[in-house]
Amino acid sequence: MKKFLKIGIPVVVILLAAFMWWRFYFVFGEGVKSGNLNFIVKKGYVFKTWEGRLIQFGFKTPTPGSMQSNEFDFSVANDSIGSVLERCSGKTVELRYKEYLHALPWRGMSNYVVFEVIKVSDSSPGTILPF
């Protein structure tokens, strides 16, 4: 029984650590999103994180004949990037983000975590209508 515990406990601990890393720290994907920054706020009871929403240009809908806007909800764990985005509300921004499988309270409420602001501009491509 002692030999089983000496081998079993470290194996269980290693498997549990690998599972937690895969579930919460494994970067599932990286990408860039561009759109109009709707809002960014710093909120949280214990862990204060930045939460924001980007409204992307164009319309995409699963059913023909209806319209739906594309919204991208994200979190920002870095205070310096959050303060930069705070001054860019209503502007067109390009953000580089990482996608995780699950959120952590100190990283934010979203699976998407922005780690870089690529570009900020005042003009949006959808301001001139074609008709």
Tell me the domains of the chain and their CATH numbers.
28-121 (2.40.50.140)
Given this model, what pLDDT does residue 52 score? 95
Over residues 65-74, mean pLDDT: 78
Angstrom CA distances, 128 to 37, 55, 60, 100, 103, stand at 19, 17, 19, 36, 38
**Distance between CA atoms of 67 and 57, rounded to whole angstroms?**
12
pLDDT 10s digits, 77-111? 889 999 999 998 889 999 999 999 998 888 889 99
Mean pLDDT, the chain, rounded, equals 86
